[in-house]
Structure 1
């Protein structure tokens, strides 16, 4: 866990159509139209053979459009607009990069554990290329206080930063880190579709973007497809109890002021689901861990302002239009400080990070032996190590 400081009647027909949890009714007026009967003479037509072409057996299948999620939770258009609006304020957007930079740094630390070169790497959902900036920074030596180790960028020949928001993707294109590695920015037509060939990347990284994906299983399967055999995927996303302090405070404030609760924070994946999703996407050698970052803010207004500047505002489908009422916000701020506040009057915000590592399968990887193939007794091993193993009278082993 880490803590950061914040810098329309006659005959009527009613049709009811059920969609999600809401019912819609349409009333259709059926006018009475009188028509005069008309006599038509029919001419006999010579019979024709019923079949003029050979029978071709066909079978129809119901298929889902590739990339179209079964259930949509987030409004992708709204999220794109939020990112674009936030990135146009360059200085304001850069000032709230503290969270993305810290998470990217922790993700790159995990990359240090893999002792190999990566000729071609994909940064999926690159935001403002935060990972690229961290890769070019010198690594602090574990013994000395001086940064003497070479940057991680020296182990990467080519880095492709892919992002759906053009303004955010090119926000920092003029900064010096762009010249310290072979960096290519590519604009994605959709954040849920990867337009890359199979077996084309030596590694795929993703930092703080996957939590806005509607069809996460499909995206993970696509990541596995574009990876080369025995290549890693390393990602981190917000999940679990992220911003639980803000969520509970807004819910209690709305119950008090409005007598009901609306959605103001996004639903997030739980850490228990990530392993199953990676396994369904055919990843091997899985590693999933959780880390918390707690950031202190002066009040709830500062927290929500920073979230908006990050482009991380609520984008759930069916959310209430317009902003939150001022009296609700004032009540939420008081509840926030009462339930979760610090002694100095500031309020903490918890960001729960779910890190995941999965490898594309390869014959080179270590494979488990088949069940029942064990030919060595653990008793023999322990005896060789000097343990005194014997069977008791009740048939239970003891030492």
Structure 2
């Protein structure tokens, strides 16, 4: 396996670009990069990889569902290669791992697929058009400011008839934590500030993929519930995952009284009989294909030979002929 990490899209240039338009962005990408670097440097950081490993395995399952061998694949926002560890070279012959965190790339899991690592931002992919047969992404793109633009870039680097398979955190993820913090701050401070990132709705993904030029779309949702001793462990693990909020309008300080009140509310509203509390993660999975002339196409409008009004007659005839 190639252990070298090459620099991709010029991260210093990207930092300047992002800071110049920060007022129009939802997320502070520099802060997210710092959070991931901090998380990767933690002693025992692998203890916080359980959710990424689980989602990565489910993305890999979707790759196996496609009866095809992919000569060259790209993993966007790969982290510690949470998908690649579940794949074999019979399915993916060569793999490019791209991430903003060099620390994560250096700690990537072993796999049997020949790999090349590229330090690159998910919003600025440094690859030529029509390069990859398969593009993967798991639990990374929900921190993208320009998600439609990111989908268009992914579609561009795919070869015709190539496929994109991804997973993002979305829906009502961490609603228990969100509600508890809002109620506690309202009670103790007379108002609340956002502590949980805004997430993409499952109903939006199909539209965004279609606008980016993908076809034969599949979008589905998995709900993963993880139990923790208390709200404090929930927040500690989110930090260890590098999944802390990085929205520009985030509140950096949470007062002790509000935190204690939130812990009590969390346990009262959502707690289990044994005292533990659940945290829900909605994982949105998506599959989209780059168009190619060999793909099946829908029939032209008006080409049907049977009208819907005739279907009731067919059913009525069959019913009458049945003894």
Whether TM exceeds 0.5 here: the answer is yes
- What are the Cα deviations for residues 338-392 of structure 1, in whole angstroms up to 9, with x where unaligned? 00001110000000011111100111111112111223467599869x82579xx
The answer to whether the aligner puts 1:234 opposite 2:165 as a matched pair is: yes
Find the aligned partners of 1:195 and 1:221 in 2 and give their Cα distance.
Answer: 13
The answer to whether the aligner puts 1:339 opposite 2:269 as a matched pair is: yes
1:45-60 map, 5 Å: none
- What are the Cα deviations for residues 146-204 of structure 1, in whole angstroms up to 9, with x where unaligned? xxxxxx432211011100111112123xx5x24x211111110x330111111110010
Query: Which secondary structure does the structure 2 equivalent of 1:130 belong to?
Result: coil
- Which segments of 5 or more consecutive residues in structure 2 lack a partner in the other structure? 1-16
Partner of 2:152: 221
Partner of 2:39: 86
The answer to whether the aligner puts 1:74 opposite 2:74 as a matched pair is: no
1:246-325 map, 5 Å: 246-321=177-252, 323-325=253-255
Find the aligned partners of 2:119 and 2:26 in 1 and give their Cα distance.
Answer: 23
8 Å CA contact 2:22–2:28 kept in 1: the answer is no
Partner of 2:7: none
Find the aligned partners of 2:261 and 2:305 in 1 and give their Cα distance.
Answer: 68
Q: Considering only CA atoms, is the larger Rg found in Structure 1 or Structure 2?
A: 1
Q: Please state which structure has a larger fraction of its residues in helix.
A: 2
Find the aligned partners of 1:268 and 1:69 in 2 and give their Cα distance.
Answer: 19
8 Å CA contact 2:170–2:199 kept in 1: the answer is yes
Find the aligned partners of 1:129 and 1:107 in 2 and give their Cα distance.
Answer: 12
The answer to whether the aligner puts 1:98 opposite 2:56 as a matched pair is: no
Partner of 1:121: 73
Query: Which secondary structure does the structure 1 equivalent of 2:151 belong to?
Result: helix
Superposition TM-score, scaled by structure 1 size: 0.72
1:21-40 map, 5 Å: none
Residue correspondences, number: 303
8 Å CA contact 1:69–1:214 kept in 2: the answer is no
Query: Which secondary structure does the structure 1 equivalent of 2:159 belong to?
Result: coil
Residue 269 to residue 68, structure 1, CA distance change in 2 (3 Å): same
Find the aligned partners of 2:21 and 2:190 in 1 and give their Cα distance.
Answer: 37
8 Å CA contact 2:64–2:91 kept in 1: the answer is no
- What are the Cα deviations for residues 321-353 of structure 1, in whole angstroms up to 9, with x where unaligned? 3x3111111110000000000111000000001
Find the aligned partners of 2:186 and 2:126 in 1 and give their Cα distance.
Answer: 46
- What are the Cα deviations for residues 176-233 of structure 1, in whole angstroms up to 9, with x where unaligned? x24x211111110x33011111111001010000100000000000100011111110
Partner of 1:186: 118
Query: Which secondary structure does the structure 1 equivalent of 2:89 belong to?
Result: helix
Partner of 1:154: 90
8 Å CA contact 1:69–1:215 kept in 2: the answer is no
